[in-house]
């Protein structure tokens, strides 16, 4: 009997609840086995703790992926890819995903925010991330990343027409035509995610919570993957992922600002995920 697993490829922060640690927690709530690929290991996240100790993992990744190919009952049925950090690692993962028969690959193309690339990234890195996108069935760029990938000017309040045009361009740029879910889109007094449906922009949001919160993109992507794994509609999965992220943000917002650097409070979100999972699988219990 094979063990269906989701490959989780993103950075691993040894302290806090974000990136890989948050994703594994979410998938555990869904009852989904994971195969973790830390794209780099950090003693802490990069903000609020000083300069972290960083361990590059390319050699380990090569050996791990080679080993997994020999495990006959390990079925990598899905994958989520978040922050990678180097073009070399992007290419390593893209090569593996291209050669693997993975049904669903969700790529969060972590490139920038607030209208600009993150420090240390350049055009060559953007091109490397595009190689990952070429393996994806779904991608989850924020509004800045959508603009960077399509060479357009977009802001969180951009019109439906402008966002739709960028989504269409991004989809047509890749032979695999990935489904695009855009995060960090503002409408009225809310923030949420949107995607194209029947030629229109479908926006799913929640009230805007002011402040800076770490790990929202990682959380959203893991939730989206988990809900899609149960075969619910794409729109329902996006809605649930938005609300799960919102629940974590609202709980985290109650903490002192200096505590938020440790990541999201996942208590309510994990409870909701577990209840959903048990409800879907009640025949097994």
- The whole-number pLDDT of residue 280 equals 84
Residue 9 backbone dihedrals phi, psi, to 5 degrees = -115, 105
- The whole-number pLDDT of residue 284 equals 45
2-11, 54-63, 140-149, 238-247: segment of lowest average pLDDT: 2-11
Record the tokens describing residue 36, joined without a space: 């973790």
- The whole-number pLDDT of residue 285 equals 34
- The whole-number pLDDT of residue 162 equals 98
For the chain, give the percent of residues with pLDDT over 90.
Answer: 94
For the chain, give the percent of residues with pLDDT over 70.
Answer: 97
Mean pLDDT of 95-104: 94
* Chain centre to alpha carbon of residue 103: 17
Cα 5 to Cα 23: distance, rounded to the nearest angstrom: 13
Which residue ranges make up each domain of the chain?
3-275
Q: What is the pTM of this model?
A: 0.95
- What does the pLDDT look like over 174-226, one tens digit per residue? 999 999 999 999 999 899 999 999 999 999 999 999 999 999 999 999 999 99
Indicate the SS3 state at residue 251.
helix
Cα 219 to Cα 30: distance, rounded to the nearest angstrom: 13
- What does the pLDDT look like over 106-118, one tens digit per residue? 999 999 999 999 9
- What does the pLDDT look like over 229-269, one tens digit per residue? 999 999 999 999 999 999 999 999 999 989 999 999 999 99
Nearest to 225 by CA among 68, 110, 142, 106: 106
Indicate the SS3 state at residue 168.
helix
- Average pLDDT of every residue of the chain: 95
- The whole-number pLDDT of residue 283 equals 46
Mean pLDDT of 33-42: 98
Residues 6+ apart with CB under 8 A from 80: 6, 7, 8, 9, 10, 23, 105, 106, 107, 108, 221, 222, 225
Nearest to 5 by CA among 96, 68, 99: 68
Q: How many other CB atoms sit within 10 Å of the CB of residue 118? A: 15
Does domain 3-275 match CATH 3.30.70.100?
no
């Amino acid at each position: 009997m094979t063990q269906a697993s989701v490959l989780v490829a993103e950075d691993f922060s040894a302290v806090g609840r974000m990136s890989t640690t948050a994703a594994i927690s979410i998938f555990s709530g869904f009852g989904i086995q994971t195969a973790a690929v830390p794209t780099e290991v950090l003693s802490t996240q990069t903000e609020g703790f000083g300069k972290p100790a960083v361990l590059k993992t390319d050699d380990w990744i090569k050996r791990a992926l080679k080993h997994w190919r020999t495990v006959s009952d390990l079925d990598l049925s899905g994958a989520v890819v978040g922050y990678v950090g180097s073009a070399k690692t992007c290419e390593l993962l893209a090569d593996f995903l291209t050669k693997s028969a993975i049904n669903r690959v969700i790529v969060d193309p972590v490139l920038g925010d607030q209208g600009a690339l993150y420090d240390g990234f350049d055009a060559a890195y953007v091109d490397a991330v595009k190689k990952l996108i070429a393996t994806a069935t779904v991608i989850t760029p924020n509004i800045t990343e959508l603009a960077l990938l399509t060479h357009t000017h977009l802001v969180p309040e951009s019109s439906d027409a402008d966002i739709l045009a960028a989504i269409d361009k991004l989809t047509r740029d890749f032979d695999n035509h990935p489904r695009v879910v855009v995060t960090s889109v503002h409408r009225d007094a809310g923030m949420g995610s949107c995607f194209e449906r029947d030629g229109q922009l479908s926006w799913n949001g929640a009230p805007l919570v002011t402040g800076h919160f770490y790990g929202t993109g990682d959380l959203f992507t893991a939730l989206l993957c988990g809900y899609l794994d149960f075969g619910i509609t794409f729109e329902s999965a996006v809605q649930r992922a938005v609300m799960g992220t919102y629940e974590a943000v609202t709980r985290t917002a109650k903490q002192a600002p200096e505590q938020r650097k440790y990541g999201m409070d996942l208590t309510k979100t994990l409870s909701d995920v577990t209840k959903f999972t048990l409800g879907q699988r009640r025949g097994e219990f």
